[in-house]
Amino acid sequence: MQTARIGVTGLAVMGRNLARNLARHGHPVALHNRTAARTKALVEEFGDEGAFLPAETAEQFVASLERPRRLVIMVKAGAPTDAVIDEFAPLLESGDMIVDGGNAHFADTRRREAALRERGIHFVGTGISGGEEGALHGPSIMPGGSAESYEALGPLLEDIAANVDGTPCCTHVGPDGAGHFVKMVHNGIEYSDMQLIAESYDLLRHAAGLAPAEIAEVFRTWNTGRLESYLIEITAEVLAHTDAGTGKPFVDVVLDQAEQKGTGRWTVQTALDLGVPVGGIAEAVFARSVSGHAGLREASRNLPGPARSAVAGSGFADKVEKALYASKIVAYAQGFHEIQAGSAEYGWNIDAGAMAAIWRGGCIIRARFLDRIRAAYEADPATPTLLTDDHFAEALGDAQDAWRDVVATAARIGVPAPGFSTALAYYDSLRADRLPAALTQGQRDFFGAHTYRRVDRDGSFHTLWGGDRTEATA
């Protein structure tokens, strides 16, 4: 009886395309789905792409896998993942591997990994980015779990991943939940990148008075330079598209309420717990949230403020390009800070440069820019922030005037630009000699005797605010 090298259960579009990708690379794949019709349809439609071993029951599926078994689950994150694990784990043996390729929360992955480890089963929480097309033609793959499981899985995953300059966009991220953590931050950065692009569009439209088709051309030009990326490329496509029914620009017929499935929110929640400032990602999540509050927006429509009139002259698009590049550097610096903080907190030992390297291809945030980040970490693996890397510091310096002008223009004419604004504020906060945090400390000490430290002596102090205002050592 032929055995499969790997099995995929959950054959919705991501699972189906991942199974096809594996088969196309010559790996016999066992197939299973809750409803057998999907399994049948896959084999009927794509059976000639490789060796598929369809199974109707969980038992058949497991029996068709070579040992140690590699079982990939591609189901909805949350309860469905636990249900599938409960179904399959009793059928597995010590040394077998369960790969969860969904967008699971890393804390769930840590819990599942610990529980399955006790039974001798490797649980490999794996981030997979690239959407449907990526899953089929080469995604970016971020596997967590044990180093031992990566030995058995790595070659297969690297085989089907995207490849940039001979390097597969897949590497062992680190133990237990590290892979899903990094995928979560990838998505947070994705939110931030998308928000900055959206603000660029909004400014070009309202401050420069350009039409969507003209803005598409601007993005096309940007995509030939340092901003070259998948997100910039598809932005041009979306903006150039005309709605067939109305003849209007497509972007004008879409309801302006952005949705989200939760990974951006998780990135911010986790950053709050870790104490990492990720304002760019937070503002991106909030911007989607504001857009969705239809009642709130309706009630506020007549509030006073400037009409969004076109004020910018020629050359404004170049300024927006600089503001976008600078803000993007900040967004990525914040995301990588979170990865390093998570790695330290959970003892994952994540190689930040390697994460930039595997995001160069396959994933949604793939970009020329990521090679710069990889190089920055190669030059200084312990750098506290990407902002101080020579290349990025120079770009930030060069963007200064334009960046400030764009933020000021947005504020003056009433175009919301939370992403650009928070990025600039973060930048200015980091480079400030003194921050007003000293005053905050004074207030805390005043109302709650929370104490403060001094610039000139070690120790903690409290001023007797309600008394003679002398200072006591706390």
Residues annotated as catalytic are 183, 190
Query: What distance in Å separates the CA atoms of residue 105 and residue 374, rounded to the nearest whole number?
Result: 26
Q: And the tokens for 140? A: 């970016």
Q: Is 450 annotated as a binding residue?
A: yes
Pick the stretch among 104-112, 249-257, 259-267, 310-318 that binds ligand 6PG (CB under 6 A): 259-267
Per CB under 6 A, which region of 15-23, 260-268, 276-284, 346-354 contacts ligand 6PG?
260-268
Minimal distance, residue 139 CB to ligand 6PG, in Å: 7
How large is the angle between the packed helices 178-206 and 279-292, nearest 10 degrees? Answer: 60
Closest to 239 in 3D by CA, of 226, 252, 223:
252
Q: Is 68 exposed, middle or buried (0-12, 13-18, 19+ CB in 10 A)?
A: middle
Q: Does 131 bind ligand 6PG (CB under 6 A)?
A: yes
Residue 103 in contact with ligand 6PG, rule: CB under 6 A: yes
Structure tokens at 458: 């070690």
- Residue closer to ligand 6PG by CB (options 183, 319) is 183
Q: Judged by CB under 6 A, does residue 364 bind ligand 6PG?
A: yes
- Judge whether 12 is annotated as a binding position: yes
What is the phi/psi pair of residue 452, to 5°? -150, 165
Q: How many angstroms separate the CA atoms of 177 and 146, rounded?
A: 10
Among candidates 289, 269, 103, 99, which has minimal Cα distance to 184? 103
Phi-psi sector, 166: left (phi>0), alpha (psi -120 to 50), beta? left
Amino acid at 445: D
Q: Whole-number minimum distance, CB 228 to ligand 6PG, in Å?
A: 19
Written as six digits, the tokens of 50 are: 């490789």
Does the protein bind ligand 6PG through residue 193 (CB under 6 A)?
no
- CA pseudo-torsion sign 357, 358, 359, 362: positive
* Count of residues of this chain found to bind ligand 6PG when the rule CB under 6 A is applied: 12
Task: Give how far Cα 98 sits from Cα of 45, 74, 149, 390, 421, Å.
Answer: 27, 11, 9, 42, 43
Residue 263 Cβ, how far from ligand 6PG at the closest point, in Å?
5
Q: Which of 134, 93, 136 is nearest to 116 (CA)?
A: 93
Task: Give the binding range for ligand 6PG (CB under 6 A) out of 160-168, 256-264, 400-408, 430-438.
Answer: 256-264
457 marked among binding-site residues? no
How are the residues of the chain apportioned to helix, strand and coil, as percentages rounded to the nearest 5? 55, 10, 35
Tokens 């949705």 correspond to 259
Least gap, CB of 73 to ligand 6PG (angstroms): 16
Looking at beta carbons only, is 30 or 189 nearer to ligand 6PG?
A: 189
Report the C-alpha gap between 110 and 176 in whole angstroms: 5
The region of 127-135, 231-239, 337-345, 455-463 touching ligand 6PG under the rule CB under 6 A is: 127-135
Backbone angles phi, psi at 80, to 5 degrees: -60, -35
Torsion (CA) 169, 174, 179, 184 in degrees, nearest 10: -110
Q: Is 385 annotated as a binding residue?
A: no
Q: DSSP letter at 348? A: -
Cβ burial 194-229 (10 Å sphere, 16+ → b, else e):
bbbbbbbbbbbbbbbebebeebbebbbebbeeebeb
Question: x/- site string to ligand 6PG, residues 314 to 353, per CB under 6 A?
Answer: ----------------------------------------
Q: Is 254 in the site for ligand 6PG (CB under 6 A)?
A: no
Does residue 267 bind ligand 6PG (CB under 6 A)?
no
Which region, judged by CB under 6 A, interacts with ligand 6PG, from 126-134, 294-302, 347-355, 432-440? 126-134
For residue 191, say whether it is annotated as part of any ligand binding site. Answer: yes
Tell me the residue nearest to ligand 6PG as measured from the CB: 129
Q: Which is nearer to ligand 6PG, 31 or 363 (CB)?
A: 363
CB of 179 to ligand 6PG, least distance (A): 13
187 binds ligand 6PG (CB under 6 A): yes
User: Residue 134 CB, nearest distance to ligand 6PG (Å)?
Assistant: 6
Query: Which pair of tokens denotes residue 114?
Result: 């610990």
Among 261, 297, 412, 454, binds ligand 6PG (CB under 6 A): 261
Q: Is 170 exposed, middle or buried (0-12, 13-18, 19+ CB in 10 A)?
A: buried
190 in contact with ligand 6PG (CB under 6 A): yes
Is there binding between residue 129 and ligand 6PG (CB under 6 A)? yes
Question: Could you tell me the smallest distance in angstroms from the CB atom of residue 295 to ligand 6PG?
Answer: 22
Q: Least distance in Å: CB of 377 to ligand 6PG? A: 21
**Helix 279-292, helix 418-431: angle, nearest 10:** 160
Q: If you search the block for the tokens 């506290």, which residue do you land on? A: 384
CA–CA separation, 6 vs 377, rounded Å?
A: 34
At 260 the three-state DSSP class reads coil
Query: Which range binds ligand 6PG by CB under 6 A, 124-132, 311-319, 346-354, 454-462?
Result: 124-132
Q: In the complex with ligand 6PG, which residue's Cβ is closer, 271 or 363?
A: 363
Question: Would you count residue 100 as binding ligand 6PG (CB under 6 A)?
Answer: no
The reply to whether 109 sits near ligand 6PG by the rule CB under 6 A is no
Which residues contribute to the annotated binding site? 10-15, 33-35, 75-77, 103, 129-131, 186-187, 191, 261, 288, 444, 450
Binding site for ligand 6PG (CB under 6 A): 103, 129-131, 187, 190, 260-261, 263-264, 363-364
